[in-house]
């Protein structure tokens, strides 16, 4: 092979780089690096003129490798790879040096330091790039079926979009009915339309859609395969009710003698039977038997539901069923968990009767809830005359969750409205900051203020039942520093609503592990890019939507559900997808078969081939992390684009000045 011919391009990025780094000097200096045949500086490399310069030089100077020193590869690596490809060079013969985010912007007062660092980074790229090899993206075919995990509003939306486009969807929901948290709500902000009225039609659409297979009361247990070709194992938990026979008439739960507190759908504020359907509009309409609480399963006696069932649909001997699904893409829409207000003991939830959580209040004010929509105290009778709503409970708080839960300002305003409308009570909102940021939200805030709700700015320090004066007797007292008037206040009220924050589900980490999706520092699933790729994940073919990605309200969840569906539909209609060729491969000739790498891979992409006594990487499963590459004691696993030679050369290049006679700091 002939000598490599490298072209180096150093970008000014207007003043962004050139303001700190001596760009012309770096370009000139780079001319002296090994294999460099052309080195230029340019005002804006990413502009069409910059790209055309690269293309032109590739042809004119017969370049074999290209280095661009500009911004982060996360910004423009693709741009320049494409430029190389247009000029007939394999796009992977390109390397980028990040001299903006990692040099000019972070060393603004150190022109020499920034320039020297830029030189080191350019040298690293030049040394590395000559070891690059042409790579071809891997092309895999895409099965048209999609798995949607989670039947809340985000999952329903995603499923419907894909199903309406004509492709099959498996919608898996853990609870007996789809609907998620939205099904529990009474009204939705800021329009105050009834949650059930807008959700129920979507639930029925999803439940009856010819392209949707609804797997309710089911959980995903295992995921194998890779983008386009996932094999998913789903456990259909035994409902103990034969869906082919059941009509959902309700005789069984009417007659069931066991009544227990429903901590899921009724948020602990209401009851359900041991055989139950979470709510009247449930989809599917069939009940399930709660085996843990059913008398028959505890003592072997009762069988009341069986006796009263007109269609003989009760099946006590029904077993869990394992279903295997073949899908091309997966959308996770597993939602959130409400912050457990008992973690803040000074707010008294669980100790003081009339302290409620936001979800409890949703049920309280819901016409289908335990009080049929009457807003009353825990005694079930008394209408409150004063109500305090505490914002940011467990959110924006270093002791619990640092993130803003995004919905609480608006839901608190909605609560204020509902309380005033239904009871005429005086409402106090205790807030830190008001953040009504979306369309129509600020207007709603003003409306609620005009309706007469009081707003006290300050973090509540304590909610107590300890009265200090006769007026406080029997009340719940909210203690808070009112930061606008600069005084400590004690506000006695009849009822307190804690606007508890949104948290990742308790099993988010485990679910993420199952699907190859990481969790960020707040515990929510991590998107591929926070701004430019919010519904994709690092695992190809696995998308996220709704509150599992971060706290969000209904409009945002719906938008993300639809966005994830659009991404899935895109791959389905392309029929195939190309994957980054950053993959590990094993040189079977030299593999000793020690199997050390087999357990290294979190994606089970390495198989041991018994008959040959060697290990082999399944390239479609490999994500290119390189853990096995570093682990191989024989150094026969190669990580494409991050090979041993490439990284060693990069290390040598980055230290080119230190030991060599090629100083970065030149005598002036």
Binders of another protein among residues 530 to 549 (CB under 8 A) are 530, 538
SS3 570: helix
Among 11, 23, 45, 103, binds another protein (CB under 8 A): 103
Report how far residue 500's alpha carbon sits from residue 216's, in angstroms, rounded to the nearest whole number: 28
Q: What phi-psi label fits residue 348: left (phi over 0), alpha (psi between -120 and 50 degrees) or beta?
A: left
Site for another protein in 351-390 (CB under 8 A): 351, 353, 357, 364, 370-371, 376, 378-381
Judged by CB under 8 A, which of 361, 431, 625, 638 binds another protein? 625
Using the rule CB under 8 A, is 654 a contact of another protein? yes
- Smallest gap, in angstroms, from Cβ of residue 306 to another protein? 28
- With CA atoms as reference, report the closest residue to 266 among 278, 276, 253, 254: 278
Site for another protein in 453-482 (CB under 8 A): 464-468
- Considering the complex, state which of residue 37 and residue 376 has its C-beta at the smaller distance from another protein: 376
**Mask: binding to another protein, 108-147, rule CB under 8 A, as x and -?**
xxx-xxx-xx--xx--x-----------------------
Q: Nearest approach, Cβ of 538 to another protein (angstroms)?
A: 5
The residue among 197 and 264 lying less far from another protein, judged by its C-beta, is 264
Q: What's the min distance (Å) between Cβ of 314 and another protein? A: 28
Is residue 412 a contact residue for another protein (CB under 8 A)?
Answer: no
**Distance between terminal CA atoms of the chain?**
39
State the alpha helices, DSSP H only, in 216-263: 251-255
Q: Where do the H-state alpha helices sit in 440-506? A: 441-450
* Token duo for residue 312: 């003989």
The Cα–Cα gap between 10 and 21 comes to: 10
Task: Give one word for 266, left, alpha or beta, with left for phi > 0 and alpha for psi -120 to 50.
Answer: alpha
Q: Do 214 and 204 contact (CB within 8 A), yes or no?
A: no
The candidate with the shortest Cα–Cα distance to 9, out of 66, 91, 74, 78, is 66
Query: What is the C-alpha to C-alpha distance for residues 231 and 225, in angstroms, rounded to an integer?
Result: 6
Q: Which stretch binds another protein (CB under 8 A): 29-37, 61-69, 264-272, 569-577?
A: 264-272
- Single out the residue of 86, 102, 236, 595 in contact with another protein (rule: CB under 8 A): 102
Burial of residue 345 (number of CB atoms within 10 Å: 0-12, 13-18, 19+): exposed
For the bound state, the minimum distance from the C-beta of residue 650 to another protein, rounded and expressed in Å, comes to: 5
Choice between 368 and 630, CB closer to another protein: 630
H/E stretch holding 4 reads: none
Residue 34 engages another protein in binding (rule: CB under 8 A): no
User: Binding another protein by CB under 8 A: which of 244, 292, 317, 521?
Assistant: 521
Paired tokens of 653:
């290049």
The DSSP element (H or E) to which 628 belongs, if any, is helix 627-631
For another protein, the binding residue among 164, 489, 631, 662 (CB under 8 A) is 631
Q: What is the number of other CB atoms lying within 10 angstroms of the CB of residue 31?
A: 12
Residue 624 in contact with another protein, rule: CB under 8 A: yes
From 83, 153, 269, 419, residue interacting with another protein (rule: CB under 8 A): 269
When binding is defined by CB under 8 A, the residue of 79, 85, 101, 238 that contacts another protein is: 101
Total residues interacting with another protein, rule: CB under 8 A: 84
Is 422 a binding residue for another protein by CB under 8 A? The answer is no
* Residue 89: CB minimum distance to another protein, A: 21
Q: Where are the alpha helices (DSSP H) in 454-603?
A: 508-515, 554-574
Site for another protein in 58-97 (CB under 8 A): 72-74
- Binders of another protein among residues 319 to 348 (CB under 8 A) are 342, 345-346
The alpha carbons of the chain give a radius of gyration, in whole angstroms, of 31
Residue 263 makes contact with another protein by CB under 8 A: yes
Question: Looking up tokens 């006696």, which residue turns up?
Answer: 301
Asked if residue 357 lies in contact with residue 498, where contact means CB atoms within 8 angstroms, the answer is: yes
- Compute the least distance from the CB of residue 597 to another protein, in Å: 11
> Does 509 participate in binding another protein (rule CB under 8 A)?
yes
SS3 content of the chain, % helix, strand, coil (to 5): 30, 25, 45
Binding flag, residue 224, another protein (CB under 8 A): no
Using the rule CB under 8 A, give the single segment among 158-166, 229-237, 420-428, 511-519 that binds another protein.
511-519
Alpha-carbon distances of 468 from 28, 345, 471, 487, rounded to whole Å: 79, 20, 8, 17
**Please, what is the minimum distance in Å from the beta carbon of residue 319 to another protein?**
31
Q: Taking CB under 8 A as the criterion, which residues in 577-616 touch another protein? A: 582, 600, 602-603
Burial class (CB in 10 A: 0-12, 13-18, 19+), 610: exposed
Pick from 310, 350, 474, 613 the residue near another protein by CB under 8 A.
350
CB 15 to another protein: min, Å: 13
Supply the minimum distance, in Å, between the C-beta of residue 531 and another protein. Answer: 11
Closer CB to another protein, residue 608 or residue 642?
A: 642
């Amino acid at each position: 092979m002939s000598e490599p011919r490298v072209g180096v391009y150093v970008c000014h990025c207007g003043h962004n780089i050139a303001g700190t780094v001596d760009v012309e000097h770096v370009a000139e200096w780079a001319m002296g690096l090994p294999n460099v045949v052309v080195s230029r500086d340019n005002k804006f490399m990413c502009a069409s003129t910059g790209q055309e310069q690269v293309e032109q030089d590739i042809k004119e100077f017969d370049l074999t490798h290209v280095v661009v020193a500009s911004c982060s590869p996360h910004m423009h690596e693709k741009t320049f790879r494409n430029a190389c490809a247009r000029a007939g060079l394999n796009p992977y013969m390109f390397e980028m040096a990040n001299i903006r985010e990692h040099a000019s912007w972070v060393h603004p007062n150190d022109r020499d330091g920034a320039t020297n660092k830029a030189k080191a980074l350019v040298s690293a790229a030049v040394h590395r790039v000559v070891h690059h090899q042409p790579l071809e993206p891997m092309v895999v075919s895409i099965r048209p079926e999609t798995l949607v995990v989670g039947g809340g509003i985000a999952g329903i939306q995603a499923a419907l979009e894909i199903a309406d486009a004509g492709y099959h969807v498996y919608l898996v929901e853990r609870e007996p009915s789809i609907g998620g948290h939205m099904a529990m709500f009474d009204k939705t902000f800021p329009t105050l339309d009834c949650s059930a009225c807008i959700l129920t039609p979507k639930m029925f659409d999803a439940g009856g859609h010819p392209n949707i297979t609804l797997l309710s009361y089911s959980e995903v247990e295992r995921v194998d395969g890779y983008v386009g070709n996932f094999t998913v194992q789903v456990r259909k938990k035994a409902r103990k009710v034969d869906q082919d026979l059941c009509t959902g008439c309700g005789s069984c739960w009417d007659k069931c003698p066991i009544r227990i507190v429903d901590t899921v759908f009724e948020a602990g504020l209401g009851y359900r039977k041991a055989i139950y359907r979470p709510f009247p509009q449930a989809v599917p309409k069939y009940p399930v038997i709660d085996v843990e609480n059913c008398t028959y399963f505890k003592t072997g006696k009762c069988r009341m539901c069986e006796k009263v069932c007109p269609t003989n649909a009760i099946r006590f001997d029904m077993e869990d069923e394992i279903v295997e699904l073949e899908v091309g893409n997966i959308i996770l829409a597993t939602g959130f968990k409400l912050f457990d207000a008992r973690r803040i003991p000074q707010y008294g939830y669980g100790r003081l009767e009339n302290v409620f959580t936001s979800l409890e209040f949703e049920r309280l004010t819901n016409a289908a809830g335990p009080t049929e929509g009457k807003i009353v105290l825990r005694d079930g009778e008394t209408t409150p005359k004063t109500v305090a709503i505490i914002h940011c409970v467990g959110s924006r708080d270093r002791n619990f969750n640092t993130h803003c839960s995004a919905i609480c300002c608006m839901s608190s305003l909605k609560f204020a409205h509902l309380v005033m409308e239904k009871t005429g009570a005086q409402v106090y909102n205790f807030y830190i900051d008001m953040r009504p940021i979306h369309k129509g939200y600020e207007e709603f805030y003003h409306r609620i203020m005009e309706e007469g709700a009081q707003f006290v700015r300050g973090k509540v320090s304590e909610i107590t039942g300890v009265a200090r004066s006769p007026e406080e007797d029997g009340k719940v007292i909210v203690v808070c520093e009112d930061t606008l008037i600069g005084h400590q206040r004690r506000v006695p009220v009849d009822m307190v609503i804690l606007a508890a924050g949104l948290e990742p589900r308790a099993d988010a980490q485990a679910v993420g592990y199952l699907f190859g999706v990481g969790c960020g520092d707040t515990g929510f699933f991590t998107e591929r890019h926070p701004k430019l790729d919010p519904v994709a994940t690092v695992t190809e073919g696995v998308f996220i939507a709704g509150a599992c990605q971060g706290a969000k309200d209904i409009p945002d969840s719906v938008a993300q559900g639809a966005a994830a569906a659009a991404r899935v539909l895109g791959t389905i209609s392309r029929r195939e997808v190309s994957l980054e060729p950053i993959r590990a491969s094993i040189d079977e000739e030299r593999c000793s078969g020690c199997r050390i790498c087999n357990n290294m891979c979190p994606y089970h992409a390495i198989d041991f081939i018994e008959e040959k006594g060697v290990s082999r990487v399944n390239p479609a499963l490999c994500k290119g992390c390189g853990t096995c590459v570093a682990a191989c004691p024989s150094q026969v696993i190669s990580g494409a684009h991050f090979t041993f030679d490439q990284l060693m050369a990069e290390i040598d290049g980055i230290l080119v000045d230190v030991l060599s006679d090629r100083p970065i700091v030149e005598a002036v």
